[in-house]
Amino acid sequence: MQKGRGRTSRIRRRKLCRSADSRGVNESYKSEFIELKKWLKDRKFEDTTLIPAYFPGTGRGLMSKTSLQEGQMIISLPESCLLTTDTVIRSFLGPYLKKWKPPPSPVLALCTFLISEKHAGNRSLWKPYLDILPQSYTCPVCLEPEVVDLLPEPLRAKAKEQRAHVQDFFASSRSFFSSLQPLFVEAVDGIFSYDAFLWAWCTVNTRAVYMRPRRQDCLSAEPDTQALAPYLDLLNHSPHVQVKAAFNEKTGCYEIRTASGCRKHEQVFICYGPHDDRQLLLEYGFISRHNPHACVPISGEMLVKYLPPTDKQMHKKMSILKDHGFAENLTFGWDGPSWRLLTALKLLCMEAEEFTCWKKILLGEVISDTNEKTSLDTAQKICCSFIEETMVVLQKVSDMKERKVSLIDQLSLVEALWTEELRILKASAEVLSLQTP
Ligand SMILES: C[S@@+](CC[C@H](N)C(=O)[O-])C[C@H]1O[C@@H](n2cnc3c(N)ncnc32)[C@H](O)[C@@H]1O
């Protein structure tokens, strides 16, 4: 067996990276966590399973005090600790939300509450929770435009869309914020600034848990499915674990059970979903190393660049791919090019006399040795070209890190994404080199 390619070595590698990332430093003695624990206790939550800790690979998270068995409850947080739109409507903001037309969205209600409570400082009942929230975030909307420009497409376009969305959302919420002036001594423009709004939006976006949709008469019809869950939201993501998480109507608690088990003093993870790294960066502002869902996508249009420009049937072939949904979700992964990518390439590499066989290709049949070889060669060519392009960007990021020290954290995040993609492409190239005769 080739070194490092088999299942056993993959598992061993995963275990190694798990133990290196999982050694945490207990942080429960810190005043902010002592205050948070008191606050949670007042709301009928006492935790005997987890402690806050700092982990070298993932940052702040939660560590198990004892070993956790498969199926065991990790956390059961009472409703009284959750911050939902109910909390907001019951608060001093309620009458203003009810009055405002058109009705504000559930996300706006949550953001408004977070901003006003943060502004209230020591007077806020939510202070112990607010004090453990990050001061800033690394979602693309928070990145400097020159850093966003270093992201791969189509993530770059999505990052720009995210920024435009948050800016529009803020602009369209300003008149609602102005209506809250009677509640504050200071000018609302200063309280509900763009920076404060961005912080609140990122807090909700990166930390909220999913709740069964509710409908509040005074809010817009957009899905009301998000709740902030203090303490529980210290759980970091791992693509390797499975959990069951939901609000239990019978117990009135938000419950998470592990389906994976966890050793004593290891970091307890939950899974935010089967996201690839670009999705994790877009939605949560981080990437996960050794992510089995990570891949490097290539668009159908881009494939054409690597095929003979003289092919008169190329236009027709592209139409077939588009009509049959084979022009998207084409990827290079840890195990080589995806079946969809190879199928698309086989179709694009058909000789003129093979054209009638296009259906067979889409059904996964081999139409000729030449077609198999040409498509694999083309996949190899594309993969090598992607590797070169990735190395060029990595050099650019590295140069920029030296010139723009103030952007080092943002640039390191982008660098981590490209480095992971380079690893995937190299793994794909290796698989392809074994497949090409
Ligand atoms: C729900 S919070 C988890 C707790 C968070 N680490 C904290 O200190 O508050 C989600 C955020 O944690 C970070 N995070 C979660 N899982 C991570 C991981 N595997 N590696 C690095 N950062 C992670 C990301 O910044 C993400 O937006």
- Side-chain half-sphere exposure of 291, counting CA atoms within 13 A: 27
Asked if 124 and 184 count as a contact pair (C-beta separation under 8 A), the reply is no
Phi and psi torsions of 366, nearest 5°:
-85, 125
Please state the atom number of ligand 1 nearest to the C-alpha of residue 238. Answer: 19
Q: Which two tokens stand for residue 111?
A: 């953001």
Query: 236 CB less than 6 Å from ligand 1?
Result: yes
Please state the atom number of ligand 1 nearest to the C-alpha of residue 138. Answer: 25
Please state the atom number of ligand 1 nearest to the C-alpha of residue 207. Answer: 1
Cα-to-centroid distance, 63 and ligand 1 (Å) = 14
Query: 284 CB less than 6 Å from ligand 1?
Result: yes
Cα-to-centroid distance, 122 and ligand 1 (Å) = 26
Positive or negative, the CA dihedral 287, 254, 32, 199 is positive
375, exposed or middle or buried, with CB in 10 Å at 0-12, 13-18, 19+?
buried
With pLDDT > 90 as the criterion, what percentage of the chain qualifies? 84
Closest residue to atom 27 of ligand 1, CA basis: 284
**DSSP letter string over 22-82?**
H--EE-TTSHHHHHHHHHHHHTT---SSEEEEEETTTEEEEEESS-B-TT-EEEEEEGGG-
**Could you give the CA distance from residue 65 to residue 50 in angstroms, rounded to a whole number?**
5
Query: 207 CB less than 6 Å from ligand 1?
Result: yes
Q: Where are the beta strands (DSSP E) in 282-325?
A: 296-298
Cα-to-centroid distance, 24 and ligand 1 (Å) = 14
Output the pLDDT for position 437. Answer: 62
- Side-chain half-sphere exposure of 409, counting CA atoms within 13 A: 10
Query: 234 CB less than 6 Å from ligand 1?
Result: yes
* pLDDT tens by residue, 131-149: 999 999 999 999 999 999 9
Query: 56 CB less than 6 Å from ligand 1?
Result: no
Output the pLDDT for position 109. Answer: 98
Tell me which residue of 91, 93, 89, 83 sits closest to 192, measured CA to CA: 93
Closest residue to atom 21 of ligand 1, CA basis: 58
Query: 269 CB less than 6 Å from ligand 1?
Result: no
Q: At what angle do helices 408-435 and 277-284 cross, to 10 degrees?
A: 160
Residue spans of the domains in the chain: they are 83-228, 296-435
The identity of residue 352, as a single letter, is A
* pLDDT tens by residue, 329-369: 999 999 999 999 999 999 999 988 888 888 999 999 999 99
Separation in Å, CA 333 to CA 108, 274, 340, 369, 431: 38, 14, 12, 24, 10
For the domain 83-228, what is the CATH superfamily, name and number? set domain protein methyltransferase, domain 1 (3.90.1410.10)
Output the pLDDT for position 8. Answer: 44
Mean pLDDT score of the chain, rounded to an integer? 92
Output the pLDDT for position 9. Answer: 43
Please state the atom number of ligand 1 nearest to the C-alpha of residue 60. Answer: 8
Ranges under pLDDT 70 in the chain: 1-22, 436-437
Q: Are strands 236-237 and 269-270 parallel, antiparallel or unpaired?
A: parallel
